[in-house]
Amino acid sequence: MNQKSTKRNIDSFLLYVFSFLLLWEWLRPVEQLTGTSSINIFLGFIFGSLLLAFLGLPLVPTVVLKLIYILLTIQYIYFGNVDTWIDLFLKDFFQNAGSILKGQWTEMSDSFRTLLFFALLWITTYLLRYWLIDRKNILFFFLATLIFITVLDAFSPYEADAAIIRSVLTGFAMMGILTFRRLADSENIQKNGRIKRKWMFSLAAVIAGSAVIAFAVPKADPVWPNPVPFLKSLSGSGNTAVNETKRSGLRSDDSELGGPFLPANMVVFTAEVEEPHYWKVDTRDVYTGKGWISSSRDGQPLNFRRNVPSSLFSFTEKVPSEERTSIVYNEEDHAHIQYPHGLQRIDATSSYRYQLNQQTNGITALNGAEQEAPASYSVQYEHPSFQAKDLEASSPEEADRSFQAIADTYTQLPENVPPEIRELALDITRGQETWFDKAKAVEAYFSSSGFAYEQVDVPVPSEDEDYVAQFLFDTKRGYCDNFSTSMAVLLRTLDIPTRWVKGYTEGTYLETNEAENKIYQVTSENAHSWVEVYFPNIGWVPFEPTQGFTNEDVPELEETTETLVEEETTENIETPVETPEQPVAAEPEPEEEVNDASQEAPQPNVGLFLKTNWKNIVVLVAAVFVMAALFYRSRRKWLPFYYIFIYKRDRQDHHFPKAYLVLLTQLERCGLKRKAGQTLREYAKEIDLLFSSSSMTQLTGWYEQYLYRGSLPKGTWENARNEWESLMKKTR
Amino acid sequence: MTNRIHPGIEKILQNIEKVITGKQEVAKLSLVALLADGHVLLEDVPGVGKTMAVRALAKSISAELRRIQFTPDLLPSDVMGVSIYNPRDMDFQFYPGPIMGNIILADEINRTSPKTQSALLEGMEEKSITVDGVTYNLEKPFFVMATQNPIEYEGTYPLPEAQLDRFLLKMKMGYPTLDEEMEVLQRAQKVPPIDDLQPVISLQELRQLQLDIKEVYVDESIRRYIVELSSHTRSHENVFLGVSPRGSIALMKASQALAFIHERDYVLPDDIQYLAPFVFAHRIILRPEARFEGVQIEDVIEQVISRVSVPIQRHVAKYE
């Protein structure tokens, strides 16, 4: 190496530090995505190699040091304290070398792979040194790093957001420093002078500035959906759940629906049932245009011990039904009771009480004062068999007295609901007379008409967009929330009372036990939402608009029963079991639900804000500091204008001495410092010589009068102002 | 730097210029001393025009020039005058010596005995002499220009420091430049111009100028600057004896005169810096070791000036 390349100074040091950071970015995903452990050992090797390169040690000691490090590491990891490890290692080495020659790649042992990895790192650090010192060009490595990271970000679960930012910043800094070095070499510039400081300073400013801009500007949404879930589904379950949001149970807040559905496969409960059925958790009655909340109607939570109060009304006695019992074994802590349609009675240990929330129809279990569901309980319910002819016969004209209240509540719609929804509803139900026919028509509408079931690429509606309208007319893809909400809203536009139900599907069938009961496992992926329609004199009848799902309780149309069943069963047999579901409701704590409804807009929380945005804040603060520093450093340029502006309005002479002193300070900032023993007159001559003017001498003459004579002729400042301003401007 | 000169002073300088070539600075400094009511010690070799300068000055202000050539055998009475018994009056009559004039040229003052020197120097300080118990006031203005030959030390009586302090300024005449000397030669071929010289200012006017000079404003910051300069000479590492408070007064008076000459009614730090070497040089005694190292008093003064910060703001005391 020639002399200047081995020179150690601060920017060489920075270059090596940045190289280390860039190389680190290659190792980070390795740790996360492969089985490689002890990544710190490799980091240590890189660090050591770069340090040796920076210190410029001769070749032989460098090689010896590195070999010792590698061998000791391999011994430490793979051989422990075996005395003969060298023999073992050599044997292993030749064996592996043999298998490489034979092309048997998979035969290699871990220790040999580690050795190869070390060799790779060695070569890389050597190359880095070559790029930094000899070529003075890091672009290739920088690009390779970026491509590597972005590809990993796109096609693997590795989240490279921070890594991309880090790499871009370090890479640009390196390129900036290296560019200066190349320029300095070709132009023969003094490498450590003012120019360098200026260069480094503006480099830092440019990088900081562009980073801030990059942070601040809005970014386009990805053009194609995230391929990771697809890749995951290809590769089976794998260990790819790392980056997923774990959601257990149901959400309590449904006021903002939309966005991707990221299920976690957590078992919520196991159920022992005579026949499979959907599990309700609670219902919602108010559609906001963005999601569902519950109305704040009057009604205290009702306490009960075993028999469910009659206010949990499902259907009338006219509906033929059959008494059944299901047993629930909870596997997850929550307070709500999940129950089948037609619930009559809950049996658990006697210490439990239950609370029915009359707004949401959610049931909370209380163990003493504690909200806690029993580990196991049985639910006794009436399984309805809704008859199509009864439903068709049901009409509002022959409604009972309670109907009006229900109709008022459950046909609510926000005022700004788009009119197209009602037009669509009228279109769909054209020719249908009865409510039941209309409901079935709307339910069937989603099976066709270009709708698609989609969990991930589901957008959140924008500020002024209706959730239902977005799904119906724009995206046409979504999961249960989209389908159920849309059906409920479509029917409401026809003044048919509907409510939105959250709960779970029947789950995954496991086995049939000795008592001929079926065991189902219900996970958070089975979270679901559907619709119930109110029929006068009959009650709440469930409907299932979501593609690929079947609810046994949903009544079928008489004449088309066969076709529909066929159509649905073909799809549903495999899907409902496996297809993940939207987590819908949350712990149905009745009191809280009301609160949720009234607190749609969450309070701004300072702590939370800081926590989520601290990176932005740090960057912002850093940017402000950089700007302030820049501003301060360039004060020579702008201060004159500031002072000219400030003194523009002052006409009294006593401002003149202040202005003169400002001028002196400004001249000093320009590097024209007056020596301590230099009189103002001499200094003024010097300044005038420099600016080829006579202003300074004139001004100084006046100032001398002020200072050494103790008085100023009247109107001095008026006379002096022009000279002063011209000098101030010249100092920029 | 606008260096306007007071019109009256300008005329005197022009007059002297007619006689002496290229010695404006000496002329100006002499006028500073004359106006500040002080005296000048010229340190130079013979033949550079000292006498001529003084004569021109005296003639310009219509003053009487007395010349005393100091020799080892000169007695105080030769300077001050002598009382002789007059048999006719049966009384002693005082015959004034050459000191009783306006402008005295004391040539080679270090050649005479300290006794005679002190007789002159006492008169310089007191502006009066006492002979045989009678005090005679000296003329006004009274201006002594003493010369000293720095080359010959044999048989000389160097002036004691206390006496040197009585001279306001000490300066060197220096040789003229080539051009100037050629001019001197050219002039020497003709009638000596000194004979044609006309007075441009009366003694009365000169006395008034001397009074006016006392009115020149010395700002507090300037006074502080003077004092700081003096005290710096005392603490300077190469100085054995620094400038006395009398030196500070001298500097202030001289700077007032200089400011007046430049038609200013206030003193500038520039005046101080310009005069400091002339006022301070003969009042500073270097340490012997510094003298052996070749340190010059002028260098010391220059250092002091560069170290003391010039006052550039009001009401802000700056000490180093």
Strand-pair category, A321-330 with A336-337? unpaired
State mean pLDDT over A570-593: 43
Q: What are phi and psi of A407, to 5 degrees?
A: -60, -40
Q: What is the pLDDT of residue B226?
A: 94
| Predicted confidence (pLDDT) per residue in A397-417, tens digit | 766 667 777 777 888 888 888
Q: Which residues in chain B touch residue A662, judged by CB atoms under 8 angstroms apart?
A: none
Q: Are the C-beta atoms of B173 and B26 separated by less than 8 Å? A: yes
Enclosing H/E stretch for A510: strand A508-512
State mean pLDDT over A409-431: 84
Residue type, A277: H
Residue type, A358: Q
Residue spans per domain, chain B: 7-209, 214-307
Strand extents, DSSP E, A289-368? 292-293, 302-304, 321-330, 336-337, 343-347, 352-356, 363-367
- State the nearest Cα–Cα gap between A712 and chain B, in angstroms: 12
Interchain pair A709, B219: CB under 8 A? yes
Highest mean pLDDT among A181-190, A328-337, A365-374, A614-623: A614-623
Interchain pair B268, A681: CB under 8 A? yes
State mean pLDDT over A84-104: 81
Of the candidates A707, A709, A710, the beta carbon closest to that of B312 is on: A707
State mean pLDDT over A487-503: 87
Looking at A411-533, list the stretches that DSSP marks H as alpha helix, in order from N- to C-terminal side: 419-428, 435-445, 467-469, 480-493
Whole-angstrom distance, CA of residue A52 vs CA of residue A240? 39
* Residue carrying structure tokens 């492969």: A34
Paired strand residues for A307: A345
Interchain pair A664, B314: CB under 8 A? no
Highest mean pLDDT among A57-61, A385-389, A565-569, B70-74: B70-74
* Nearest Cα to Cα of residue A352 among A305, A307, A302, A312: A305
- State the nearest Cα–Cα gap between A647 and chain B, in angstroms: 19
Of the candidates B1, B269, B310, the beta carbon closest to that of A685 is on: B1
What value does the mean pLDDT of chain A take?
A: 79
Residue A221: CB partners within 8 Å, gap ≥ 6?
none
Q: Which chain A residue lies closest to B313 (C-alpha atoms)?
A: A707
Q: What is the pLDDT of residue A103?
A: 75
Q: Does A710 touch chain B (CB under 8 A)?
A: yes
Q: Does B257 touch chain A (CB under 8 A)?
A: no
| Predicted confidence (pLDDT) per residue in A507-525, tens digit | 888 888 887 888 888 888 8
Q: Which residues in chain B touch residue A678, judged by CB atoms under 8 angstroms apart?
A: 310
Q: Are the C-beta atoms of A374 and A330 separated by less than 8 Å? A: yes
Q: Which residues in chain A touch residue B221, judged by CB atoms under 8 angstroms apart?
A: 707-708
Of the candidates B268, B273, B307, the beta carbon closest to that of A704 is on: B268
Interchain pair A678, B310: CB under 8 A? yes
Q: Does A711 touch chain B (CB under 8 A)?
A: no
| Predicted confidence (pLDDT) per residue in A440-453, tens digit | 888 888 877 778 88
Say if residue A161's pLDDT is above 70: yes
Say if residue A248's pLDDT is above 50: no
Strand-pair category, B40-43 with B143-148? parallel
Q: Are the C-beta atoms of A678 and B310 separated by less than 8 Å? A: yes
Say if residue A98's pLDDT is above 80: yes
CATH code of the domain made up of B214-307 = 1.10.8.80
- State the nearest Cα–Cα gap between A709 and chain B, in angstroms: 5
In this structure, what token pair is assigned to residue A704?
């001398």
Q: Are the C-beta atoms of B108 and B147 separated by less than 8 Å? A: yes
- State the nearest Cα–Cα gap between B258 and chain A, in angstroms: 15
Q: Which chain B residue lies closest to A708 (C-alpha atoms)?
A: B219
Say if residue A243's pLDDT is above 60: no
Q: Tell which phi-psi region holds residue A539, choosing left (phi > 0), alpha (psi between -120 and 50) or beta.
A: left
The residue ranking higher by pLDDT, A199 or A261, is A199
Q: Which residues of chain B have pLDDT under 70?
A: 1-3, 152-153, 315-320
Say if residue A596's pLDDT is above 50: no
Coil, helix or strand for A665?
helix
Strand-pair category, B134-137 with B128-131? antiparallel
Of the candidates B270, B309, B314, the beta carbon closest to that of A676 is on: B309
| Predicted confidence (pLDDT) per residue in A270-299, tens digit | 888 888 888 888 888 888 888 888 776 656
Q: Does A682 touch chain B (CB under 8 A)?
A: yes
Q: Does A602 touch chain B (CB under 8 A)?
A: no
Interface of B with A in 55-74 (CB under 8 A): none
Enclosing H/E stretch for A478: strand A477-478
Counting every residue written for chain A, the total comes to 732
Interface of B with A in 205-234 (CB under 8 A): 217, 219, 221-222
Q: Are the C-beta atoms of A77 and A88 separated by less than 8 Å? A: no
- State the nearest Cα–Cα gap between B14 and chain A, in angstroms: 26
CA A149 to chain CA centroid, nearest Å: 19
Burial of A433 (0-12, 13-18, 19+ CB in 10 A): exposed
Q: Which residues in chain B touch residue A688, judged by CB atoms under 8 angstroms apart?
A: none
Q: How confident is the model at residue A220 (pLDDT cuts 50, 70, 90)?
A: confident
Paired strand residues for A378: A327, A347
| Predicted confidence (pLDDT) per residue in A54-81, tens digit | 888 888 888 898 888 888 888 887 777 6
CA A608 to chain CA centroid, nearest Å: 15
Q: What is the pLDDT of residue B217?
A: 92
Interchain pair A707, B221: CB under 8 A? yes
Looking at A516-605, list the stretches that DSSP marks H as alpha helix, in order from N- to C-terminal side: 561-572, 575-578, 590-598
Q: What is the pLDDT of residue A563?
A: 43
Q: Are the C-beta atoms of B36 and B213 separated by less than 8 Å? A: yes
In this structure, what token pair is assigned to residue B235?
């603490």
Q: Does A664 touch chain B (CB under 8 A)?
A: yes
Counting every residue written for chain B, the total comes to 320
CATH code of the domain made up of B7-209 = 3.40.50.300
- State the nearest Cα–Cα gap between B214 and chain A, in angstroms: 15
Coil, helix or strand for A667?
helix
Of the candidates B2, B306, B313, the beta carbon closest to that of A677 is on: B306
Q: What is the pLDDT of residue B247?
A: 92
Q: What is the pLDDT of residue A434?
A: 84
Interchain pair B217, A681: CB under 8 A? no
Q: Does A610 touch chain B (CB under 8 A)?
A: no
Q: What is the pLDDT of residue B232?
A: 92
End-to-end CA distance of chain A: 44
Q: Are the C-beta atoms of B276 and A645 separated by less than 8 Å? A: no
Interchain pair B269, A679: CB under 8 A? yes
CA A204 to chain CA centroid, nearest Å: 29
Q: What is the pLDDT of residue A298?
A: 59
Residue B68: CB partners within 8 Å, gap ≥ 6?
B74, B78, B79, B98, B99, B104, B105, B106, B107, B120
- State the nearest Cα–Cα gap between B201 and chain A, in angstroms: 29
Q: Which residues in chain B touch residue A676, judged by CB atoms under 8 angstroms apart?
A: 306-310, 320
Interface of A with B in 465-524 (CB under 8 A): none
Neighbours of A339 (CB within 10 A): 26
Burial of B251 (0-12, 13-18, 19+ CB in 10 A): buried
Distances in Å between the Cα of A657 and the Cα atoms of A392, A672, A700, B42 are: 99, 19, 10, 42
Q: Does A701 touch chain B (CB under 8 A)?
A: yes
Would the pTM of this model clear 0.90, i.e. be above it? Answer: no
Burial of A465 (0-12, 13-18, 19+ CB in 10 A): middle
pLDDT above 70: percentage of residues in chain A: 85
Q: What is the pLDDT of residue A604?
A: 54
Q: What are phi and psi of B53, to 5 degrees?
A: -60, -45
Rounded CA Rg of chain B: 21
Query: Which ipTM score applies to this complex?
Result: 0.84
Interchain pair B217, A710: CB under 8 A? yes
Q: What is the pLDDT of residue B301?
A: 93
In this structure, what token pair is assigned to residue B90?
């049966």
Q: Does B191 touch chain A (CB under 8 A)?
A: no
- CA angle, residues A173, A177, A178, in degrees to nearest 5: 115
End-to-end CA distance of chain B: 28
Number of Cβ pairs < 8 A linking chain A and chain B: 61
Whole-angstrom distance, CA of residue A163 vs CA of residue A287? 42
Say if residue A582's pLDDT is above 50: no
Paired strand residues for A529: A502
Distances in Å between the Cα of B140 and the Cα atoms of B61, B137, B312 are: 12, 9, 38
Paired strand residues for A519: A272, A511
